[in-house]
């Protein structure tokens, strides 16, 4: 918390009527016990600390390029020159450190650290690795284990970039989708409501004839979580049983005399309610899968990268 | 009938049973009257297997009955056996209807009883006390005569009864033991609290039961169940509404009972009268404390306060001679206290007057090491004669009071507390002198507070941080009175309440309007000031009204709103310690904005004319008030001027502020918010919370309400006056040094706090077993990984020893809530562990400000 921007005095403008916290008494010379910092404003990991880490990343990139062009390596820049070794070492250390975010995230040790600061550094230093890693190669790419390591690194970085994109764009939609007239509803509540609706549909379907009841039953048997990853990610369920049941039911209704208090109508209303809820839940699952999907490339590729890097380093020193 | 008992004991709970056991042991002619058919109904009604705690630990048990922490069944079993062994004369199913003296009228001893009706009117009846022996009439009509009566009936009370015609018919019931045995009936449930809802839902849970259930609700139908079911927990109310929607039962809104007939019930609905079939009525309309019955016995209460206890002598004798009151009814809810008192009361009745109370060693420890070398009795006398607010207390009250309070000795120059320290205790000066430093930058500016007076009352009343630093000016001895003890004191001793109120009003005014004023200047204002209770949502000032009163917010908080362009716009949030209404007084004219209570609040209403007179004599004060007013006007001007240029931002800001206040931020001191434009739903906050606190998460990120992407998750708000603290038998809930409200290890798992929390942030759970380390999980996949372990894993890995004492403690559920990660370096884990910066913790008075509006419009 201490690392978050803290603007305590802005609040005084408002609470000036309370002499307890008026500006004149707000800054005691000897503050014996520091109040826990409170924030009135906050920033995202992308501009954490007034953009501290992207500034650092730019400096790293500029310095790397400048030294690359200023230092004359004979016969040409390559991974084996002293400059190449330096960049390689920096890059390797950086990769290992960036990997540690996964540990940091899970190790809830005490101390004045914030995961937001770590994420911010992870993002920008990770991006600077494009420059460091590529300059390390001296643009000598080929079909070998060395280039494999570089390619895997780029894959990790690109998947990370995609991650930043979804993190920056999808949360709003995730939140908006959860809105209800009473506020937000949770995934658990959606599932509960679904069960509730199923029960209501089941009850309402009792007066129907066997043919119609079978159709309705099919909707009840549907598992919301079924479907492939692609269906979930694209939120496309062509064979959706609820929709089919609705359609069939409407078809049947056309051949029946119209009456007041038609059980068909009640079932249909409930089915359309269920369809709306289903759409909401599926949209929720879609957004959640996008928010997580990129990690399924990012993380395994990182381990592959570390393996390839080990091979790369080992072979370089073995064939010294 | 002809037999006259030496002592009749009413109620067979821990207190009554212990008293009867001791009477049996001493061979006194006694009778124990119990309303039900078993001993100790309150504990009997605990859920099966519930662990009963034996707090306070240090108190010695003095009883002929055994008692130690353990399972409900074991404790009841021991008590039953021992009661038989001692041949206690128990009369079951003996509910006492009235107690009357059969002797002569006691001259000058008249009991006044004040009954308060719903509309606020009161009627006073008088009762001439008669000397013992007492005649106890049972509901069966039987009579019991006894020289002494020990009243140990607890505070459970009796269910409120239906008062409409036919309310006494046999099918009108007030409880439902097992809903699943009721089949094929038409049932009407009256009362929409949790008990009523649970009964109603239980009756229709299984369709096979074939019950037709109607729930009557006096309130209007609303999409917000908190409005239509104000006294029930939200999930319960929602489930009921869902059942209604599913057609399993019927809720009738805006409906009351008019008349009950056999097989039918007549209802008064919005659209007129309706008669429906009804084989059984379950009325769950609350219960009345037993005060009426107790007063009818000639026992006087200390005050009209709802929380007041009977006035008792040092030997528990009430104002009716020969009637002793012990146990929860006397103000002692803990089992050990109750049992000791049962023993003591019987000793006193048996003529042992030199018995020292069981709390003597505790008080010895309290007063040990203080200057002056006085005995406990001398100290108690010293306090009574020196501290103004303790004067009206009886010795018994003072002893009990001291158990909850602490003696503090300070050397000259020692700091007692610092400005901005958290603390809700009240200090009374028994000896010495203290100085209040009114200006933190200039230590020479001080106000003395003399011996006998009090300080720290602002923290007590408002629940906010200390307003000034207090230093001992001489060697000083103080009594530090915990908030609970101070509240009890105020309800027991009306003079103490008045003294505290007057001092606090005077100090609050002096402190708010600054130096240069002294108590004499504002005497008239204080004399005339009125303390008013304001319900949440009630308006104290209305825009456009005339009026010159000033309101000082003493407890709670207010929001200021103004109509701009036909829409109410939120102007500011006023925490306790602020004042409003000065604009009309200084600048004249009508009220410029409306002010309403964000939560249940208390204000001091000050007469405008009188305050104006003070202002006229003190130009410096006027100047200062003008400055405050100008600041407010600037705020208002800023918002109003921006209203058109960035109307959407102002509207959003205003609506967001309203939303947050509706979520209870008006009484919060520190609350977790989630910016849903940043939240990726990783739940790392919950995992971090669990991993920082023995494996249980204290927050539910996804639950809670959201408005304009600002989410208030289910997590503790650390209220100014925590609802959870209100009724904690072992007094385990406290406020810590950082303002956090936490539950300590003495929690007995009773669940009162969970029920009392309106925000549902407390859970009852057992501590899961320790997980393998993170590295073990990362490399070898052992254990469930970060976050709260799944229930199955915990169950499988719980290290039971086979020793019942240890295993039982492993299975014990305790109340768990956010403690703001007190004592953990770095602060709240939820915020530290958020990867994107979505989780923030805020104090409402710093968050609901114009500063944020400016930021957002920038």
Q: Residue B50 has what pLDDT?
A: 67
Say whether A183 and B705 touch across the interface (CB within 8 A).
yes
Interchain contact, A114 vs B572, CB within 8 Å = no
Please, are residues B600 and B536 in contact by the beta-carbon 8 Å criterion?
A: yes
- Contact between chains at B705 and A42 (C-beta distance less than 8 A): no
> Do the chains contact at B705 and A112, CB–CB below 8 Å?
no
Q: Can you give the pLDDT at residue B289?
A: 65
Three-state DSSP class for residue A118: helix
Measured between CB atoms, does B307 come within 8 Å of chain A?
A: no
Question: For residue A101, what pLDDT is reported?
Answer: 94
Q: Would you tell me which residues 246-275 of chain B have a C-beta closer than 8 angstroms to some C-beta of chain A?
A: 246-247
* Nearest residue of chain B to residue A16 (CA atoms): B628
**Band of pLDDT at residue A300, cut at 50, 70 and 90:** very high
Subunit contact B711:A175, Cβ cutoff 8 A: yes
Please give the residue of chain A at the shortest CA–CA distance from B417: A32
Give me the residue from B242, B247, B706 closest to A178, CB to CB.
Answer: B706
| Chain A residues touching B778 at Cβ < 8 A | 103, 106
Q: What pLDDT, on a 0 to 100 scale, did the predictor assign at position B851?
A: 64
A16 contacts in chain B (CB < 8 Å): 627-628, 631-632
- Best of B826, B839, B845 to disrupt the A interface (most A CBs within 10 Å) is B826
The Cα of A152 is separated from the nearest Cα of chain B by a number of Å equal to 22
Domain definitions of chain A by residue range: 45-168+295-319, 178-293
pLDDT at A161: 96
The CA distance from B666 to B722, in Å, is 12
Report pLDDT for B661: 82
The dihedral formed by the CA atoms of A193, A197, A202 and A205, expressed in degrees to the nearest 10? 180
In this predicted structure, what is the pLDDT of residue B535?
Answer: 81
Contact B428, B390 (CB under 8 A): yes
Average pLDDT per consecutive 10 residues, chain B (858 residues; last block may be shorter): 85 93 94 91 73 73 87 89 93 90 86 73 84 90 93 79 84 78 88 83 84 87 70 76 85 88 87 87 78 87 75 87 90 84 92 84 86 86 88 78 88 88 85 86 82 84 75 92 81 80 84 74 85 86 88 87 81 84 84 87 88 84 83 81 72 81 82 91 93 91 83 89 80 80 86 84 90 88 89 88 81 89 89 92 78 62
Residue A1 with chain B: CB contacts under 8 Å: 826-828, 831-832, 841
Q: Which residue of B has its CA nearest to A104?
A: B833
Closest residue, chain B, to A11 (C-alpha): B846
Cα end-to-end span (Å), chain B: 87
Rounded to a whole number, what is the distance in Å from the CA of B786 to chain A's nearest CA?
A: 6
Residues of A in contact with B441 (CB under 8 A): 25, 28-29
- Contact in structure between B725 and B733 (CB atoms under 8 Å): yes
Structure confidence at residue A30 as a pLDDT band (50, 70, 90): very low
* pLDDT, tens digit (0-9, with 9 covering 90-100), for A36-61: 444 445 788 998 888 999 999 999 99
B825 to chain A, minimum CA–CA distance in Å? 5
- Using the predicted structure, report yes or no on whether residue A112 has a pLDDT greater than 90: no
Q: Do A105 and B820 touch (CB under 8 A)?
A: no
What gap in Å lies between CA B89 and CA B86, rounded to an integer?
9
**Cα distance from A149 to chain B (closest Cα, Å)?**
23
Residue A99 has pLDDT above 90, yes or no: yes
Number of other residues whose CB lies within 10 A of the CB of residue A23: 12
Q: How confident is the model at residue A10 (pLDDT cuts 50, 70, 90)?
A: very low
Q: Do A167 and B579 touch (CB under 8 A)?
A: no
Taking contacts as CB-CB distances below 8 angstroms, the residues of chain B near A108 are 687-688, 691-692, 786, 829, 833
Q: Does B512 touch chain A (CB under 8 A)?
A: yes
* Cα→Cα distances B314→A36, B13, B344, B392, B400, Å: 46, 22, 11, 14, 11
Per residue in A222-274, pLDDT (tens digit) is 777 777 888 888 888 887 888 888 888 888 888 887 777 778 888 888 888 88
Q: What is the dihedral of CA A113, A117, A119, A125, to 10 degrees?
A: -120
- What does the alpha-carbon distance between residue A166 and residue B48 come to, in Å, rounded to a whole number? 51
For residue A181, what pLDDT is reported?
62
Averaged pLDDT for residues A70-79: 85
Neighbours of A51 (CB within 10 A): 15
Query: Contact at 8 Å (CB) between B24 and B350?
Result: no
A16 vs B846: CB contact, 8 Å cut-off? no
Could you tell me if B511 lies within 8 Å of chain A, comparing CB atoms?
Answer: yes
Using the Cβ of B194 and the Cβ atoms of chain A, whether some distance falls under 8 Å is answered with no
Question: CA–CA separation, B829 vs B832, rounded Å?
Answer: 5
ipTM of this complex prediction, to 2 decimal places: 0.83
**Chain A contacts in chain B segment 329-358 (CB below 8 A):** none
Which chain A residue has its CA at the smallest distance from B677's CA? A172
CA-CA distances (angstroms) from residue B48 to B43, B52, B73? 10, 11, 7
Distance CA B629, CA B637 (A): 12
Would an 8 Å CB–CB cutoff place B778 in contact with chain A? yes
3-state secondary structure of B601: strand
Q: Which residue of A has its CA nearest to B629?
A: A17
């Amino acid at each position: 918390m201490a690392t978050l921007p803290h603007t305590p005095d802005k609040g005084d403008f408002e609470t000036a009527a309370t002499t307890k916290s008026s500006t004149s008494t707000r800054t005691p010379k000897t503050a014996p016990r520091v109040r826990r910092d409170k924030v009135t404003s906050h920033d995202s990991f992308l501009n954490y600390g007034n953009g501290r880490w992207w500034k650092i990343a730019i400096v790293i990139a500029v310095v790397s390029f400048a030294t690359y062009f200023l230092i004359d390596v004979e016969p040409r820049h390559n991974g084996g020159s002293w400059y190449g070794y330096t960049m390689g070492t920096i890059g390797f250390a950086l990769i290992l450190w960036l990997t540690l975010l996964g540990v940091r995230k899970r190790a809830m040790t005490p101390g004045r650290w914030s995961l937001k600061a770590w994420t911010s550094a992870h993002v920008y230093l990770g991006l600077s690795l494009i420059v460091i890693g590529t300059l390390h190669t001296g643009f000598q790419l080929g079909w070998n284990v060395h280039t494999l390591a570089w390619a895997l690194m780029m894959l990790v970085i690109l998947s990370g970039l995609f991650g930043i994109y979804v993190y920056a764009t999808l949360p709003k939609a995730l939140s908006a989708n959860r809105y209800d007239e009473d506020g937000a509803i949770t995934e658990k509540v959606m599932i509960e409501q679904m069960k509730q609706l199923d029960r209501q549909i089941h009850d309402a379907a009792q007066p129907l004839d066997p043919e119609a009841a079978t159709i309705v039953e099919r909707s009840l048997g549907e598992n919301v979580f079924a479907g492939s990853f692609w269906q979930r990610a694209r939120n496309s369920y062509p064979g959706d049983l609820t929709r089919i049941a609705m359609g069939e039911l409407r078809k049947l209704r056309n051949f029946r005399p119209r009456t007041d208090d038609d059980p068909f109508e009640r079932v249909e209303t409930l089915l359309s309610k269920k369809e709306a809820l289903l759409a909401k839940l599926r949209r929720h699952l879609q957004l959640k899968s996008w928010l997580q999907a990129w990690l399924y490339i990012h993380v395994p590729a990182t381990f592959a990268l570390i393996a390839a890097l080990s091979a790369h380093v080992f072979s370089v020193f073995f064939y010294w | 009938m002809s037999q006259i008992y030496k002592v009749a004991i009413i109620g067979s709970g821990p207190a009554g049973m212990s008293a009867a056991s001791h009477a049996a042991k001493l061979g006194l002619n006694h009778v124990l009257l119990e309303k039900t058919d078993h001993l100790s109904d309150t504990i009997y009604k605990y859920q099966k297997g519930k662990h009963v705690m034996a707090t306070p630990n240090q108190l010695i048990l003095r009883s002929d009955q055994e008692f130690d922490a353990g399972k409900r069944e074991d404790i009841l079993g021991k008590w039953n056996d021992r009661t038989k062994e001692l041949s206690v004369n128990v009369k079951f199913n003996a509910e006492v209807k009235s107690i009357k003296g059969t002797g002569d009228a006691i001259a000058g001893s008249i009991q006044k009883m004040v009954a308060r009706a719903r509309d606020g009117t009161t009627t006073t009846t008088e009762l001439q006390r008669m000397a013992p022996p007492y005649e106890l009439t049972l509901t069966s009509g039987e009579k019991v005569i006894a020289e002494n009566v020990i009243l140990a009936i607890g505070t459970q009370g009796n269910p409120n009864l239906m008062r409409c015609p036919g309310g006494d018919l046999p099918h009108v019931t007030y409880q439902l033991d097992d809903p699943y045995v009721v089949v094929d009936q038409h049932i009407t449930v009256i009362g929409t609290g949790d008990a009523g809802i649970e009964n109603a839902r239980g009756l229709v849970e299984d369709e096979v039961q074939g019950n037709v259930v109607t729930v009557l609700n006096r309130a209007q139908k609303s999409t917000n169940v908190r409005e239509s079911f104000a006294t029930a927990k939200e999930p319960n109310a929602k489930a009921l509404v869902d059942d209604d929607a599913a057609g399993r039962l019927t809720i009738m809104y805006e409906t009351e009972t008019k008349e009950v007939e056999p097989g039918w019930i007549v209802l008064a609905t919005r659209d007129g009268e309706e008669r429906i079939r009804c084989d059984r009525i379950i009325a769950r309309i609350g219960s009345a404390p037993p005060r009426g019955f107790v007063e009818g016995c000639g026992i006087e209460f200390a005050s009209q306060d709802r929380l007041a206890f009977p006035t008792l002598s040092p030997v528990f004798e009430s104002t009716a001679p020969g009637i002793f009151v012990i146990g929860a009814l006397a103000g002692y809810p803990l089992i050990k206290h109750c049992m000791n008192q049962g023993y003591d009361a019987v000793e006193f009745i048996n003529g042992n007057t030199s018995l020292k109370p069981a709390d003597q060693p505790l008080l010895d420890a309290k007063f040990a090491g203080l200057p002056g070398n006085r005995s406990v009795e001398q100290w108690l006398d010293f306090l009574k004669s020196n501290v103004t607010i303790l004067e009206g207390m009886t010795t018994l009250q003072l002893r009990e009071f001291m158990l909850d309070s602490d003696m503090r000795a300070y050397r000259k120059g020692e700091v007692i507390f610092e400005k901005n320290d958290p603390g809700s205790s009240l200090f009374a000066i028994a000896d010495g002198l203290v100085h209040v430093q009114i200006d933190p930058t200039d230590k020479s500016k001080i106000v003395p507070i003399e011996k006998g007076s009090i300080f720290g009352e602002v923290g007590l009343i408002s629940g906010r941080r200390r307003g000034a630093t207090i230093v001992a000016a001489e060697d000083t001895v103080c009594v530090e009175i915990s908030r609970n003890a101070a509240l009890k004191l105020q309800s027991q001793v009306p003079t103490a309440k008045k003294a505290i109120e007057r001092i606090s009003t005077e100090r609050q005014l002096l402190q708010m309007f600054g130096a240069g004023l002294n108590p004499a200047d504002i005497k008239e204002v204080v004399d005339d000031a009125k303390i008013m209770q304001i319900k949440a949502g009630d308006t104290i000032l209305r825009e456009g009204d005339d009026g010159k009163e000033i309101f000082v917010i003493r407890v709670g908080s207010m929001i200021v709103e103004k109509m701009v362009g036909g829409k109410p716009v939120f102007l500011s949030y006023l925490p306790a310690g602020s004042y409003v209404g000065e604009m009309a007084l200084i600048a004249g004219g009508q009220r410029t904005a409306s002010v309403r209570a964000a939560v249940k609040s208390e204000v001091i209403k000050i007469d405008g004319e009188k305050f104006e007179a003070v202002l006229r004599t003190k130009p410096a004060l006027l100047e200062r008030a003008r400055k405050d007013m100008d600041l407010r006007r600037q705020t208002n001007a800023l918002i109003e001027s921006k209203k058109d240029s960035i109307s959407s931002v102002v509207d959003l800001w205003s609506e967001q502020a309203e939303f947050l206040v509706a979520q209870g931020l008006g009484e919060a001191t520190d609350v977790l918010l989630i910016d849903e434009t940043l939240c990726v739903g990783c739940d790392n906050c919950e995992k971090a919370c669990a991993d920082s606190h023995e494996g249980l998460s204290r927050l539910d990120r996804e639950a809670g309400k959201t408005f304009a992407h600002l989410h208030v998750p289910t997590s503790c708000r650390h209220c100014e006056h925590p609802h959870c603290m209100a009724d904690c038998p072992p007094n385990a809930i406290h406020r810590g040094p950082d303002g956090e409200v936490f539950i300590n290890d003495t929690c007995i798992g009773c669940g009162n706090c969970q029920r009392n929390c309106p925000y549902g942030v407390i859970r009852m759970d057992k501590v899961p077993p320790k997980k393998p380390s993170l590295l073990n999980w990362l490399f070898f996949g052992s254990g469930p990984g970060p976050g709260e372990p799944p229930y199955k894993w915990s169950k499988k890995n719980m290290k039971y020893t086979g020793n019942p004492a240890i295993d039982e403690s492993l299975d014990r559920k305790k109340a768990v809530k956010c403690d703001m990660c007190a004592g953990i370096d770095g602060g709240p884990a939820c915020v530290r562990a958020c990867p994107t910066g979505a989780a923030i913790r805020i104090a409402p008075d710093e968050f609901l400000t114009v500063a944020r509006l400016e930021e957002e419009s920038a």
